[in-house]
Every structure is written in structure tokens, then in C-alpha cells.
Structure 1
Amino acid sequence: MGGLDRIDLNILRALQADGRLSNADLAERVHVSPATCHRRTRRLFDEGYIKGVHARIAPEPVGLGVVAMVGVVLDRSTPESFAAFEEAVMGMAVVLDCVLVAGDFDYLIKVRIRDMANFNQLHGRDLIALPGVRQTRTFFIMKEVKEDAPLPF
């Protein structure tokens, strides 16, 4: 965190806890003037420290109460096969997270779906048809113990 001072870190912490803070409230919380706070916050966005501000939607009321983690093994470990797979996954709205991992799988994918029938359809139609997929293994989340925790800085 080379280019960040105490005030910048306090701004990041405050926005991470509540992205809806007004500039005036944020300035008061971090003990700077509103003009200084606005300038610093804008810089934090411009320099990529803040990627965005979003509402966290409750998944159950919108019909997406089931979470699954899908481990994916590709048939080849080449830059081309990774690129083709990643490009295809980027176009799938149902995929919340996709990470390249070391270990038994090449990728772990997190999806939110309506129910088991919806997952069965997604798996049979889309997931196993992704470029280079040799094998998948699915883990259904029974309880989310800790999710979207703030970054520990």
C-alpha cells in the first residue's frame, strides 16, 4: 500500500463498510474537509484502489438461493486452452466468481441458481460445454458462514 497514507486508508475502510456514505459524512468520519475528501476519493477511484460501489442484493428474494462451487479440470494445460475457457466464462452471467487454482482443479467457479433442476440444466447445457472441459466436480453450499468480508488492511 505504498501510495496510501492514513487518511486514504480511513477513506477506504469507511467506504468498504458503507459505500452509501455521502461525501460530507465520509469527510466527517475521516476528519478532513469535504473538498479534500472528494479529491482524495476521486484519486482512489482513478488510481484503481476502489473498483466500484455496488448494492448487495439478497439472493433468496430474487430467486437465487442455491450456491454451488464447481471444480473444473481442463483437458490441456496450455495458455490457449486457459484463454478460451476464461473468455467463455466471462460471457456467463450466472458465474459469480471464476478463479484459476493450484491443486486438484484448474478452476473453481461459483454460481448462484434457483434450485437443483436449474443447476442440472446449467451443468448439462453450459458448464460441460465450456471450451476444454474434461471434468467437473460440484459442491453445493449448505451454509454461507462468512461471505464478502471486508479486506483486512
Structure 2
Amino acid sequence: MREDQLTTTPSHPVRPLDPIDDAILRLLRTDGRASVRAVADQVHISRANAYARINRLIDEGVIRGFSARVNHERAGRGASAYITLKIVQDSWRTVRAKLEELPGAAHIALVSGDFDVLLLVHTEDNRALRELVLTRLQGIPEVLSTRTLLVFEESDLLPER
């Protein structure tokens, strides 16, 4: 995960999205491979307008990229878990850099509440998950404690219509 994906301060002022922008985002979240022509047709705007809007959404950081939705089990990473971490105060940047290097790390978030960090991982099996938690995570000096929540089943949510 890159630094710019986790920053909370936008590089330019946040501009409210209009209904056409919202429709484009819904469409691209459902099908990130949709052509500009398909986007234009479904949103009822010209191709030039669709192209300009998509590029603006990318330039403004609203669209951070395009990716595939992966079935982790079929990809050989059938053990998934959310792991909560309590960390040393003011060590977020250091911990984040170390978590970004972990094999199978899919999402990292600094959160409020009973713990400081929420980490989503996908590993080959429970043995690999145990190794990741007991050796890699608990071996980070700034990590005070961890709690592992196994994922039994998951579903991707599609955007609202």
C-alpha cells in the first residue's frame, strides 16, 4: 500500500460530486474495465465528457486506481483474518511501514476505540496465519498486543444503485 493511499489530507480542495460523477463511480465500482464509451452510454453523456470526468476523478484522487476483486480461496490464500493491534503511542508511521511489508496484508487502517490498528490479511492456511501473527506481528517492537478474528465467510458489496 502506498503512502498516498493512506493520507487523509487531499492535495486539492474537496469538491462535491454531482449526480453524474456518482453514476460514473457506481458504474466503475461494478465494472472497472468498462470502456469510456460504455460509461458515456450508460450515464447518458458524450464520450469526451465521460473521458474528461474520469480523468478529473483520477487527478483529484477520488479514483485511486482500478483493481480486480479476488477470490482469495481460489488464489491459494484461503485463511483470512482481521487482526487488531494496540501499538506504542506515536508509532503509527513506523508500524504502518512494517505492516505494508507483510505477505498477504490487504488493508491497514488507523482506527479509534479499544485498539489502534485494524489489519486484514489473507494467508495460505492457518499455519501461515499463526506464523504471521506470532512471529512477524508480535515481533514488531511497537506492537503491544494483537487479537485475531478469523473470517469464516465474506461477500463483496456492490455499489448502491
What displacement does 1:124 show? 2.6
Q: Could you list the runs of 5+ residues in structure 2 that have no partner in the other structure?
A: 1-13
The answer on whether the counterparts of 2:26 and 2:160 sit within 8 Å (CA) in structure 1 is no
- CA distance 1:138–1:3, change in 2 (3 Å): closer
C-alpha distance after superposition, 1:46-97 (max 9, x if no partner): 11111111111211111111111111112x32x2x22211121122242111
User: AA paired with 1:142?
Assistant: F
- Separation of aligned partners in 2, 1:129 and 1:18: 40
SS of residue paired to 2:113: coil
Answer yes or no: is 1:45 the counterpart of 2:55.
no
Match of 2:94 in 1: 84
Aligned alpha-carbon RMSD (Å): 1.9
- CA distance 1:37–1:140, change in 2 (3 Å): same
The answer on whether the counterparts of 1:71 and 1:107 sit within 8 Å (CA) in structure 2 is yes
Question: Map of 1:1-153 to 2, 5 A cutoff?
Answer: 2-74=15-87, 76-77=88-89, 79=90, 81-144=91-154, 146-147=155-156, 149-150=157-158
SS of residue paired to 1:96: strand
Identity %: 33
SS of residue paired to 1:28: helix
What displacement does 1:151 show? 5.5
- Separation of aligned partners in 2, 1:103 and 1:44: 32
- CA distance 1:104–1:4, change in 2 (3 Å): closer
User: AA paired with 1:117?
Assistant: R
Report which of the two structures shows the higher radius of gyration computed on alpha carbons: 1
- CA distance 1:129–1:151, change in 2 (3 Å): farther
Normalising by the residue count of structure 1, what TM-score does the alignment of the two structures yield? 0.86
